[in-house]
């Protein structure tokens, strides 16, 4: 499988949008989750510190807001990089420094885990949390991590799902806060996992367009580690929700000849954390300038920094200015698609000038940087124009509130007077509507939703919020 097949451009676009939403959409909830994750991740690193050794310089791939990279810098005294495909999500990490009173930050880089912008053998640690399963070819990320690690360096990954054998795989289930009452009952009893298709909560990412890979069992993960690394330590974290899963684990341990969690992990799934050592031993200068560890994402030559703080390739014309504390080191042709700016084929409410493409039915803009949106009533219209000759696909991003969620609640879209997509709203939260479009020089977009609802102190009548409309080339 090629790198492009491992993760398509459409999935990368979805990740850019989703990471922005996850970091900026509910900032108070996000900060609570980030704190909890750092406590859990920090304990794991402390527990295996003697095996891991030095982590300077490190890169955390799929870092989201970079909260765990800040932990590495401030709690562990390491130096390194926070890398994520979402530049806005990384910029949000600067707010975490103020909120948490931090004094040290990683170098923040928007980049692709399948094309890490680092020199071969340049890092002591590559760290990945909850991100490998977003690649159809997980081995491709292993190979790239091994390339940038110096001999004796450590690839650390955690919170990755192990495929569960004991499940009927009937459907995908959302996170607990948006489950239906009977799903919560089954979850609390430890029975829901015996019915769902894969990891609980995967429905949210899948609905956003992020393709999940939950096919690997424990033995598959183990085979990958043995193939690519000399030595390893790993830990298994099994689900133990309610009597159903606790009983199954007890039975599995008695089936296992060693009384370990190997058999229970195959039966129940769960998550895996691993520390993998690259063969050999080599010194890495911890005080070298950060740019000396980088390489151009286009031609793979070295990088230098000019007086204005912009990164330049030493061989080609690639350049990456420091934009709000983040260097964008994504391949040029992908960067143009992932970060189009204010173009005729995008209505991004976080960008100034988007109003010129809106027509009727939109209420005033609300929200904060990175998560701006507009309420609509029963109908709102806009205009999009393609900027290339490729076949187009429309993508509409919005949010359903609890006030809107009533029997028969719907959202649908018409484009050039033809209905292209209709959706019955059954849960609160984020939604994405997508549909292929026929060729046209201009697309008149009409969004329809119902039922209407009101706030007692407000004369306006609402349905859902919309935060982005865009055209994308069909994959």
Our count of domains for the chain comes to: 2
Query: What's this model's pTM, rounded to 2 decimal places?
Result: 0.87
Token pair for 461: 């009548």
Give the domain extent around 468. Answer: 346-473
DSSP 159-182: EEEEPPSS----B----GGG--HH
Residues 218 and 70 grouped into a single domain: yes
pLDDT for 428 equals: 84
Q: Is residue 377 part of a domain?
A: yes
pLDDT at 446 over 70: yes
- Long-range pairs, 213-217, Cβ under 8 A, ≥24: 213/133, 213/134, 213/135, 213/136, 213/138, 214/133, 214/161, 214/163, 215/163, 216/133, 216/138, 216/161, 216/162, 216/163, 217/162, 217/163, 217/165, 217/266
Instruction: Answer yes or no: are the C-beta atoms of 106 and 82 closer than 8 Å.
Output: yes
User: Within this chain, do residues 19 and 154 fall inside the same structural domain, yes or no?
Assistant: yes
Triad 354, 358, 362: Cα angle to 5°: 110
**According to the model, what pLDDT value does residue 15 have?**
86
What angle do the packed helices 87-100 and 67-74 form, to 10 degrees?
Answer: 50
User: Percent of the chain, pLDDT > 90?
Assistant: 76
Give the residue from 108, 24, 120, 11 showing the smallest Cα distance to 59: 108
pLDDT score at 22: 66
- Is 136 within 8 Å of 142 (Cβ atoms)? no
User: pLDDT per residue over 450-475, tens digit each?
Assistant: 999 999 888 999 999 999 999 988 86
Within a domain: 176: no
The rounded distance, in Å, linking the Cα atoms of 408 and 117 is: 49
Same-domain check for residues 414 and 266: no
Give the pLDDT confidence of 233-255 residue by residue, as tens digits.
Answer: 999 999 999 999 999 999 999 99
State whether 262 and 403 are in the same domain: no
* Order of all β-strands in the sheet with 303-305: 303-305, 311-313, 319-320
Q: Tell me the two tokens of residue 290.
A: 């950060």
Last residue of a domain, one of 258, 277, 296: 277
Does a cis peptide bond (omega within 30 degrees of 0) precede residue 451?
Answer: yes
| Alpha-carbon gap, residue 137 to 31, rounded angstroms | 31
CATH of the domain at 415: 2.60.120.260
Are β-strands 303-305 and 270-277 bridged in parallel, bridged antiparallel, or unpaired? unpaired
If asked whether residues 18 and 113 sit together in one domain, one would say yes
Q: C-alpha dihedral over 318, 322, 326, 332, to 10 degrees?
A: -20
Question: Torsion angle, CA of 236/241/242/247, rounded to 10 degrees?
Answer: -20
* Residue where a domain terminates, one of 247, 277, 307: 277
Q: What are phi and psi of 103, to 5 degrees?
A: -110, -15
Question: How confident is the model over 341-359, as pLDDT tens digits?
Answer: 789 999 988 888 899 999 9
Mean pLDDT score of the chain, rounded to an integer? 92
Quick check: is 181 in a domain?
Answer: no
| Same-domain check for residues 264 and 381 | no
What does the alpha-carbon distance between residue 173 and residue 193 come to, in Å, rounded to a whole number?
Answer: 9
Q: 118 and 261 share a domain?
A: yes
Range from 87-96, 269-278, 438-447 carrying the lowest mean pLDDT: 87-96
Task: Note the pLDDT of residue 191.
Answer: 97
Residues 122 and 262 in one domain: yes
Do 230 and 115 share a structural domain? yes
Helices and strands counted in the chain (H then E):
13, 22
Average pLDDT over residues 44-70: 96
Kindly tell me if the per-residue pLDDT of 56 is higher than 70: yes
Strand ranges in 308-391 using DSSP code E only, listed in sequence order:
311-313, 319-320, 322-323, 326-328, 346-348, 362-368, 371-376, 379-384
User: Alpha-carbon distance 274 to 215, whole Å?
Assistant: 18
Say if residue 321's pLDDT is above 80: yes
Q: Is the pLDDT of residue 18 over 80?
A: no
Same domain, 128 and 19: yes
Averaged over 208-212, what is the pLDDT?
Answer: 82
Residue 218 sits at the vertex; the CA angle it makes with 217 and 224, to the nearest 5 degrees, is 95
Task: Check if the beta carbon of residue 314 is closer than 8 Å to that of residue 302.
Answer: yes
Q: Are residues 121 and 224 in the same domain?
A: yes
CATH at residue 47 = 3.40.50.150
Report yes or no on 333 lying in a domain. Answer: no
Q: Give the residue among 194, 157, 200 at the shortest CA–CA distance from 179.
A: 200
Same domain for 143 and 248, yes or no, is yes
Q: Which residues are paired to 473 by β-bridges?
A: 392
pLDDT-derived band of residue 209, with 50, 70 and 90 as boundaries? Answer: confident
Q: Which of 256, 277, 298 is the last residue of a domain?
A: 277
464 located within any domain: yes
Decide if 327 is inside a domain.
no
Residue 158 lies in a domain: yes
Split at pLDDT 50, 70, 90, the class of 1 is low
The pLDDT, as a whole number, for residue 429 is 80
């Amino acid at each position: 499988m090629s790198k492009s097949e491992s993760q398509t451009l459409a999935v990368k676009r979805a990740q850019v949008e989703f990471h922005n939403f996850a970091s900026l959409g509910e900032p108070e909830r996000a900060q609570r989750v980030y704190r909890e994750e750092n406590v859990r991740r920090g304990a794991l690193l402390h527990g295996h510190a003697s095996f891991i050794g030095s982590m300077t310089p490190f890169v955390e791939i799929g870092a989201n807001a970079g909260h765990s990279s800040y932990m590495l810098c401030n709690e562990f005294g390491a130096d390194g990089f926070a890398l994520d495909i979402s530049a806005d999500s990384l910029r949000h990490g600067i707010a975490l420094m103020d909120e948490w009173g931090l004094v040290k930050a990683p170098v923040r880089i928007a980049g692709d885990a399948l094309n890490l912008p680092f020199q071969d053998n340049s890092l002591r640690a590559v760290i990945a949390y909850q991100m490998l399963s977003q690649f159809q070819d997980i081995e491709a990320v292993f190979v790239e991590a091994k390339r940038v690690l110096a001999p004796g360096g450590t690839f650390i990954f955690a919170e990755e799902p192990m495929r569960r054998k004991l499940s009927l795989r009937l459907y995908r289930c959302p996170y607990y806060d948006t489950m239906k009452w009977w799903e919560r009952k089954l979850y609390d009893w430890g029975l829901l996992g015996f019915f769902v298709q894969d990891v609980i909560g995967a429905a949210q990412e899948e609905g956003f367009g992020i393709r999940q890979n939950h096919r690997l069992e424990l033995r598959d993960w183990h085979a990958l580690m043995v193939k690519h690394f000399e030595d390893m330590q790993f830990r298994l974290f099994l689900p133990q929700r309610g009597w159903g899963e606790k009983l199954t684990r007890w039975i599995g341990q008695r089936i296992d000849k060693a009384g370990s969690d190997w058999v229970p992990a195959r039966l129940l799934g769960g998550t895996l954390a691993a520390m993998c050592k690259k063969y050999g031993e080599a010194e890495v200068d911890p005080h070298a300038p950060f740019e000396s560890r980088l390489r151009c994402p286009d031609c793979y030559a070295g990088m230098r920094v000019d007086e204005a703080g912009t990164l330049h390739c030493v061989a080609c014309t690639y350049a990456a200015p420091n934009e709000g504390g983040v260097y964008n080191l994504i391949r040029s042709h992908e960067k143009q698609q992932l970060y189009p700016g204010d173009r005729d084929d995008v209505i991004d409410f976080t960008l100034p000038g988007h109003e010129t493409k809106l027509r009727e039915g939109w209420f005033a803009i609300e929200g904060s940087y990175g998560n701006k949106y507009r309420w609509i009533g029963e109908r709102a219209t806009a205009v999009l124009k393609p900027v290339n000759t490729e076949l187009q696909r429309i993508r509409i991003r919005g949010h359903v509130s609890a006030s809107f969620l009533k029997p028969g609640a719907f959202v649908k879209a018409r484009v050039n007077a033809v209905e292209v997509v209709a959706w019955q709203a059954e849960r609160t939260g984020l939604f994405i509507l997508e549909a292929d479009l026929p060729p046209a020089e201009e697309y008149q977009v009409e969004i329809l939703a119902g039922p209407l609802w009101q706030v007692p102190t407000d004369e306006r009548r609402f349905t859902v919020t919309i935060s982005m409309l865009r055209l994308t080339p069909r994959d």
